[in-house]
Amino acid sequence: MSYGDEIMAAGQARAEAARRGGAVHIVDRQGLPRWSDLWRGLDYIAAPRAAAAGQVVSGPGARPYLKSLSRAAGADFTDWRARDHPGALALDPAERDFAGRATAGLGSFVVVEPNLMPAANPNKQWGWDRWVDLATRIGDLTPVQLGPAGTRPLPGARRLETPSFRLAAAVLARARAAVLPEGGLHHAAAALGVSAVVIFGGHTDPETTGYPGHVNIAACGTACGQWRPCRHCAAAMAAIAPAEVERALRGALCSRGQKTEDRSQNRRIEP
């Protein structure tokens, strides 16, 4: 299960529920209704045993943006776009209270999260030294790192322990902006309306999983979709300099308040 996939599934469900005029099921590839804690509080997603006005298919092995996926062959993408199906997260009062307590006294801050889930594609990793460099460059913006106990701490960032993804999202919702790899938290940022600089590299094209209001930094050319360590992806990440990411972040902070379409930008880097 990927947090980002579940947020995108919620976006699919919202569009279908609007079309159907009622809550819908999210079903797996066998057609069985499924549930994620990330959908709690979203009234357009029907619980598995509840009546539903329709359904959308999204689950392991049945994601709308993928024609196929294997670790050997990588990903083959469809023309489905996350930006056309924006998801949502309904934070509850306890989660908002947690975030308020966790960030008390911080003032304004930005989220910087270098760590990926253990099962994530290694080609999504920008490189630890680059994250450390970035955190040093933006010290005046109060960089904050999220994650559960045991998360590798990022030098130069304030560490806030967030025991669950929903609690991390609650803290993220209070941030001025974020710098994130393509993944669950960048989908959460879009769902919560948080400006972000998203490091895509060469694996996935921002036309597939990018959002308006974010600055998406990716390699020129076609995304390779590889899951095995890839020289193309390594070169793409190496071409994304911390100074470039810093400029993108400071620019995003300056443009807050503009229309979403004016803030959205895909930046292409030649490896």
Tally of CB atoms within 10 A around 41: 13
For residue 269, what pLDDT is reported?
Answer: 59
Tokens encoding 66: 């993928």
Burial class (CB in 10 A: 0-12, 13-18, 19+), 39: buried
Report pLDDT for 211. 96
Q: Which residue has the tokens 């539903």?
A: 52
Domain spans in the chain, listed from the N-terminal domain onward: 3-64, 93-269
Q: How far apart are CA 194 and CA 105, in angstroms?
A: 20
The reported pLDDT for the residue numbered 71 is 81
Contacts for 115-122: CB closer than 8 Å, 24+ residues apart? 115/147, 115/151, 115/152, 116/181, 116/183, 117/2, 117/3, 117/183, 117/184, 120/183, 121/203, 121/227, 122/227, 122/229
Indicate if the alpha-carbon torsion angle 91, 119, 128, 182 is positive or negative.
negative
pLDDT at 259: 47
CA distance to 30, 42, 77, 81, 202, per residue, from 12 (Å): 18, 12, 17, 10, 25
Q: Is the dihedral of CA 215, 147, 57, 13 positive or negative?
A: negative
Q: What was the pLDDT predicted at 118? A: 83
| CATH topology classification for 93-269 | Rossmann fold (3.40.50)
Q: Which of 229, 227, 191 is nearest to 209 (CA)?
A: 191
Q: What is the SS3 assignment for 246?
A: helix
Q: Is 219 strand, coil or helix?
A: strand
User: Up-side HSE of residue 80: CA atoms within 13 Å toward CB?
Assistant: 17
Burial of 116 (0-12, 13-18, 19+ CB in 10 A): middle
Query: What pLDDT sits at residue 258?
Result: 53
Helices (H), 174-218: 184-192, 206-209
Q: Evaluate whether 233 touches 226 at the Cβ level (below 8 Å).
A: yes
Residues in the chain, pLDDT under 50: 259-263
